[in-house]
Amino acid sequence: MTRLRVLCLGLLVGTAGIAAPSALSPLLSQAAAQVPVIDNAAIAQLLQQLAEARQQYQEAVSQYQQLRQTYAALAQAVNPNQWAQQLEQPALQNAMPNTTMLPSLLAGISPPSQLGGTLGPLAQQYLTQNQVYLPQGQGVQPTRLRDAANATAEIEAVATQNLQSLQTRAAALPQIQDQLNSATTIQQVASIQARLTAEQNYAQAQTAQAANLQVLATEQQQAQQTAQTEAYRQGLDQGIASECANLARLGASTTGCSP
Protein backbone atom coordinates (compact mmCIF):
# COMPACT_ATOMS: atom_id res chain seq x y z
CA MET A 1 0.00 0.00 0.00
CA THR A 2 2.84 2.37 0.84
CA ARG A 3 4.62 1.63 -2.44
CA LEU A 4 1.36 2.34 -4.35
CA ARG A 5 1.03 5.71 -2.71
CA VAL A 6 4.57 6.69 -3.65
CA LEU A 7 4.05 5.55 -7.21
CA CYS A 8 0.86 7.55 -7.51
CA LEU A 9 2.48 10.67 -6.19
CA GLY A 10 5.32 10.28 -8.60
CA LEU A 11 2.93 9.98 -11.50
CA LEU A 12 1.01 13.02 -10.41
CA VAL A 13 4.11 15.10 -10.17
CA GLY A 14 5.45 13.96 -13.49
CA THR A 15 2.12 14.42 -15.29
CA ALA A 16 1.30 17.83 -13.93
CA GLY A 17 4.80 19.13 -14.40
CA ILE A 18 4.80 20.26 -10.83
CA ALA A 19 8.30 20.75 -9.44
CA ALA A 20 7.63 20.65 -5.71
CA PRO A 21 10.34 18.49 -4.14
CA SER A 22 10.07 20.24 -0.84
CA ALA A 23 6.38 19.48 -0.52
CA LEU A 24 6.69 15.74 -1.45
CA SER A 25 9.88 15.00 0.49
CA PRO A 26 8.15 14.18 3.79
CA LEU A 27 5.80 11.79 2.07
CA LEU A 28 8.62 10.07 0.21
CA SER A 29 10.75 9.70 3.36
CA GLN A 30 7.81 8.27 5.30
CA ALA A 31 7.11 5.77 2.57
CA ALA A 32 10.76 4.68 2.35
CA ALA A 33 10.95 4.22 6.12
CA GLN A 34 8.04 1.83 6.00
CA VAL A 35 9.73 -0.49 3.44
CA PRO A 36 11.02 -3.67 5.29
CA VAL A 37 14.82 -4.31 5.23
CA ILE A 38 16.02 -7.92 4.66
CA ASP A 39 19.26 -8.88 6.61
CA ASN A 40 20.77 -11.72 4.61
CA ALA A 41 23.70 -12.16 7.03
CA ALA A 42 21.38 -12.62 9.99
CA ILE A 43 19.31 -15.17 8.09
CA ALA A 44 22.44 -17.11 7.11
CA GLN A 45 23.65 -17.12 10.72
CA LEU A 46 20.25 -18.38 11.91
CA LEU A 47 20.27 -21.18 9.34
CA GLN A 48 23.78 -22.16 10.44
CA GLN A 49 22.65 -22.28 14.08
CA LEU A 50 19.69 -24.45 13.13
CA ALA A 51 21.96 -26.85 11.23
CA GLU A 52 24.31 -27.11 14.19
CA ALA A 53 21.42 -27.73 16.58
CA ARG A 54 20.10 -30.46 14.29
CA GLN A 55 23.52 -32.14 14.18
CA GLN A 56 23.81 -32.00 17.98
CA TYR A 57 20.37 -33.53 18.30
CA GLN A 58 21.30 -36.39 15.96
CA GLU A 59 24.51 -37.03 17.92
CA ALA A 60 22.55 -37.07 21.18
CA VAL A 61 20.09 -39.61 19.71
CA SER A 62 22.98 -41.79 18.52
CA GLN A 63 24.63 -41.71 21.94
CA TYR A 64 21.34 -42.61 23.58
CA GLN A 65 20.94 -45.61 21.28
CA GLN A 66 24.47 -46.75 22.08
CA LEU A 67 23.79 -46.45 25.80
CA ARG A 68 20.63 -48.53 25.41
CA GLN A 69 22.57 -51.23 23.55
CA THR A 70 25.31 -51.22 26.20
CA TYR A 71 22.78 -51.48 28.99
CA ALA A 72 20.98 -54.34 27.23
CA ALA A 73 24.31 -56.16 26.79
CA LEU A 74 25.23 -55.72 30.44
CA ALA A 75 21.79 -56.55 31.78
CA GLN A 76 21.38 -59.70 29.72
CA ALA A 77 21.65 -62.83 31.85
CA VAL A 78 23.81 -65.53 30.25
CA ASN A 79 24.15 -68.99 31.76
CA PRO A 80 27.80 -70.06 31.39
CA ASN A 81 26.88 -73.72 31.98
CA GLN A 82 24.72 -74.01 28.87
CA TRP A 83 27.73 -75.15 26.84
CA ALA A 84 29.44 -78.56 27.16
CA GLN A 85 26.95 -79.70 29.76
CA GLN A 86 28.56 -83.15 29.88
CA LEU A 87 31.34 -81.60 31.97
CA GLU A 88 28.88 -80.76 34.75
CA GLN A 89 28.90 -84.35 36.02
CA PRO A 90 30.41 -84.63 39.54
CA ALA A 91 32.58 -87.58 38.44
CA LEU A 92 34.23 -85.36 35.82
CA GLN A 93 34.62 -82.35 38.09
CA ASN A 94 36.35 -84.45 40.76
CA ALA A 95 37.45 -87.85 39.52
CA MET A 96 39.50 -88.68 42.61
CA PRO A 97 37.96 -90.67 45.48
CA ASN A 98 37.44 -89.14 48.89
CA THR A 99 40.65 -88.83 50.88
CA THR A 100 39.15 -90.96 53.65
CA MET A 101 39.35 -93.92 51.27
CA LEU A 102 43.02 -93.46 50.40
CA PRO A 103 44.64 -95.30 53.34
CA SER A 104 42.78 -98.56 52.71
CA LEU A 105 42.96 -98.08 48.94
CA LEU A 106 46.72 -97.56 48.89
CA ALA A 107 47.27 -100.43 51.29
CA GLY A 108 45.05 -102.74 49.24
CA ILE A 109 43.17 -103.83 52.36
CA SER A 110 39.79 -103.68 50.63
CA PRO A 111 39.24 -105.70 47.45
CA PRO A 112 38.23 -103.87 44.27
CA SER A 113 34.66 -105.13 44.59
CA GLN A 114 34.15 -102.85 47.60
CA LEU A 115 35.01 -99.68 45.71
CA GLY A 116 32.03 -97.55 44.73
CA GLY A 117 31.01 -96.09 41.39
CA THR A 118 32.96 -97.04 38.30
CA LEU A 119 36.18 -97.59 40.25
CA GLY A 120 35.21 -101.09 41.39
CA PRO A 121 34.76 -102.73 37.96
CA LEU A 122 37.77 -100.88 36.57
CA ALA A 123 40.02 -101.95 39.46
CA GLN A 124 38.79 -105.54 39.15
CA GLN A 125 39.67 -105.46 35.47
CA TYR A 126 43.22 -104.35 36.26
CA LEU A 127 43.52 -106.95 39.02
CA THR A 128 42.53 -109.73 36.63
CA GLN A 129 44.98 -108.51 34.01
CA ASN A 130 47.89 -108.13 36.44
CA GLN A 131 47.45 -111.32 38.47
CA VAL A 132 49.51 -114.40 37.63
CA TYR A 133 48.79 -116.38 40.76
CA LEU A 134 46.59 -115.80 43.80
CA PRO A 135 48.57 -116.59 46.95
CA GLN A 136 46.77 -118.91 49.36
CA GLY A 137 46.80 -119.02 53.12
CA GLN A 138 46.51 -116.48 55.92
CA GLY A 139 50.19 -115.94 56.65
CA VAL A 140 51.96 -112.63 56.51
CA GLN A 141 53.55 -113.15 53.11
CA PRO A 142 50.46 -114.30 51.15
CA THR A 143 48.37 -111.57 52.80
CA ARG A 144 50.92 -108.94 51.84
CA LEU A 145 51.04 -110.20 48.27
CA ARG A 146 47.26 -110.06 47.93
CA ASP A 147 47.13 -106.56 49.43
CA ALA A 148 49.86 -105.33 47.09
CA ALA A 149 47.97 -106.69 44.07
CA ASN A 150 44.75 -105.01 45.22
CA ALA A 151 46.52 -101.69 45.84
CA THR A 152 48.18 -101.69 42.42
CA ALA A 153 44.91 -102.42 40.63
CA GLU A 154 42.99 -99.80 42.59
CA ILE A 155 45.63 -97.11 42.04
CA GLU A 156 45.58 -97.88 38.32
CA ALA A 157 41.78 -97.55 38.33
CA VAL A 158 41.90 -94.14 40.05
CA ALA A 159 44.59 -92.88 37.68
CA THR A 160 42.63 -94.13 34.67
CA GLN A 161 39.43 -92.43 35.82
CA ASN A 162 41.30 -89.17 36.37
CA LEU A 163 42.89 -89.43 32.91
CA GLN A 164 39.49 -90.11 31.32
CA SER A 165 38.11 -87.00 32.99
CA LEU A 166 40.98 -84.87 31.68
CA GLN A 167 40.54 -86.28 28.17
CA THR A 168 36.80 -85.57 28.22
CA ARG A 169 37.45 -82.00 29.36
CA ALA A 170 40.13 -81.46 26.72
CA ALA A 171 37.72 -82.66 24.02
CA ALA A 172 34.93 -80.36 25.23
CA LEU A 173 36.95 -77.15 25.68
CA PRO A 174 36.96 -76.33 21.93
CA GLN A 175 33.14 -76.41 22.01
CA ILE A 176 33.19 -73.64 24.58
CA GLN A 177 35.93 -71.67 22.80
CA ASP A 178 33.95 -71.77 19.55
CA GLN A 179 31.15 -69.83 21.27
CA LEU A 180 33.41 -66.77 21.30
CA ASN A 181 33.08 -66.58 17.51
CA SER A 182 29.31 -66.13 17.75
CA ALA A 183 29.21 -63.96 20.89
CA THR A 184 27.47 -60.64 20.23
CA THR A 185 27.36 -59.03 23.66
CA ILE A 186 29.83 -58.18 26.38
CA GLN A 187 27.94 -60.41 28.80
CA GLN A 188 28.19 -63.41 26.49
CA VAL A 189 31.94 -62.95 26.10
CA ALA A 190 32.39 -62.58 29.86
CA SER A 191 30.31 -65.71 30.56
CA ILE A 192 32.24 -67.81 28.04
CA GLN A 193 35.57 -66.62 29.43
CA ALA A 194 34.40 -67.38 32.98
CA ARG A 195 33.40 -70.91 31.94
CA LEU A 196 36.74 -71.49 30.23
CA THR A 197 38.55 -70.30 33.36
CA ALA A 198 36.51 -72.67 35.53
CA GLU A 199 37.26 -75.67 33.28
CA GLN A 200 40.95 -74.81 33.23
CA ASN A 201 40.92 -74.66 37.02
CA TYR A 202 39.31 -78.09 37.14
CA ALA A 203 42.00 -79.45 34.84
CA GLN A 204 44.80 -77.92 36.94
CA ALA A 205 43.29 -79.33 40.13
CA GLN A 206 43.03 -82.81 38.61
CA THR A 207 46.61 -82.62 37.39
CA ALA A 208 47.74 -81.72 40.90
CA GLN A 209 45.67 -84.58 42.33
CA ALA A 210 47.28 -87.02 39.90
CA ALA A 211 50.74 -85.83 40.94
CA ASN A 212 49.85 -86.31 44.62
CA LEU A 213 48.48 -89.76 43.89
CA GLN A 214 51.73 -90.68 42.16
CA VAL A 215 53.70 -89.60 45.23
CA LEU A 216 51.42 -91.61 47.51
CA ALA A 217 51.65 -94.67 45.26
CA THR A 218 55.45 -94.47 45.23
CA GLU A 219 55.59 -94.19 49.00
CA GLN A 220 53.13 -97.04 49.39
CA GLN A 221 55.21 -99.23 47.13
CA GLN A 222 58.23 -98.49 49.28
CA ALA A 223 56.18 -99.31 52.37
CA GLN A 224 55.16 -102.64 50.86
CA GLN A 225 58.77 -103.51 50.12
CA THR A 226 59.69 -102.60 53.67
CA ALA A 227 56.84 -104.74 54.97
CA GLN A 228 58.00 -107.71 52.92
CA THR A 229 61.52 -107.30 54.28
CA GLU A 230 60.13 -107.12 57.80
CA ALA A 231 58.06 -110.24 57.18
CA TYR A 232 61.15 -112.04 55.92
CA ARG A 233 63.09 -110.94 58.99
CA GLN A 234 60.21 -112.02 61.20
CA GLY A 235 60.35 -115.49 59.65
CA LEU A 236 64.07 -115.73 60.32
CA ASP A 237 63.67 -114.61 63.93
CA GLN A 238 60.87 -117.09 64.50
CA GLY A 239 62.95 -119.89 62.97
CA ILE A 240 65.94 -119.04 65.15
CA ALA A 241 63.75 -118.87 68.25
CA SER A 242 62.28 -122.27 67.44
CA GLU A 243 65.71 -123.84 66.98
CA CYS A 244 66.96 -122.32 70.19
CA ALA A 245 63.94 -123.70 72.03
CA ASN A 246 64.67 -127.16 70.64
CA LEU A 247 68.31 -126.94 71.73
CA ALA A 248 67.25 -125.87 75.21
CA ARG A 249 64.89 -128.83 75.42
CA LEU A 250 67.68 -131.18 74.44
CA GLY A 251 70.04 -129.67 76.99
CA ALA A 252 72.36 -128.39 74.29
CA SER A 253 74.15 -125.07 74.39
CA THR A 254 72.01 -122.11 73.42
CA THR A 255 74.88 -119.71 73.06
CA GLY A 256 74.08 -117.11 70.48
CA CYS A 257 70.34 -117.55 70.87
CA SER A 258 69.91 -114.47 73.04
CA PRO A 259 69.11 -111.32 71.07
pLDDT tens per residue, range 197-237: 887 888 888 888 888 888 878 877 777 788 778 888 888 88
Confidence class for position 79, pLDDT limits 50, 70, 90: low
- Contact call for residues 46 and 54 (beta carbons, < 8 A): no
Q: Which carries the bigger pLDDT value, residue 136 or residue 227?
A: 136
Mean pLDDT of 124-136: 85
Assess if residue 144 is contained within a domain.
yes
CB 162 within 8 A of CB 214: no
184, pLDDT greater than 60: yes
As a whole number, mean pLDDT of residues 186-194 equals 80
Q: Is position 194 within any domain? A: yes
Among 216, 107, 98, 97, CA closest to 153: 107
Give pTM, 2 decimals.
0.56
Residues 195/80, Cβ–Cβ less than 8 Å: yes
Highest mean pLDDT among 16-20, 75-79, 121-125, 196-200: 121-125
Residue 84 maps to a domain: no
Averaged over 156-184, what is the pLDDT? Answer: 82
pLDDT at 145 over 80: yes
The closest of 89, 88, 81 to 118, measured between CA atoms, is 89
Confidence class for position 17, pLDDT limits 50, 70, 90? very low
Q: Domain range spanning residue 159?
A: 119-129+139-250
Instruction: Report the distance separating Cα 57 and Cα 63, nearest Å.
Output: 10
Residue 131, SS3 per DSSP: coil
Residue 214: inside a domain, yes or no? yes
Question: Residue 27's closest CA among 45, 4, 60?
Answer: 4
Please indicate, yes or no, if residue 173 is contained in any of the structural domains. yes
Mean pLDDT of 172-180: 79
Length of the chain: 259
Give the count of beta carbons closer than 10 Å to the beta carbon of residue 127. Answer: 22
For residue 224, tell me if it sits in a domain: yes
pLDDT band (50, 70, 90) for residue 9: very low
Tell me if 5 is assigned to some domain: no
Contact 14, 32 (CB under 8 A): no
User: Which pLDDT value is given to residue 36?
Assistant: 62
Q: What's residue 15's pLDDT?
A: 46
Q: What is the pLDDT of residue 23?
A: 52
Q: How many helices (H) and strands (E) does the chain have?
A: 8, 0
The 8-class DSSP code of residue 35 comes to S
- The CA-based dihedral angle spanning residues 77, 80, 82, 83, taken in that order and rounded to the nearest 10 degrees: 140
User: What is the number of structural domains in the chain?
Assistant: 1
3-state secondary structure of 135: coil
Tell me what pLDDT residue 171 has. 81
Residue 39 covered by a domain: no
Q: Averaged over 80-102, what is the pLDDT? A: 69
Find the farthest-apart pair of alpha carbons in the chain and give their distance in angstroms, rounded: 186
Is residue 3 within 8 A of residue 36, CB to CB? The reply is no
Q: CB of 167 within 8 A of CB of 203?
A: no
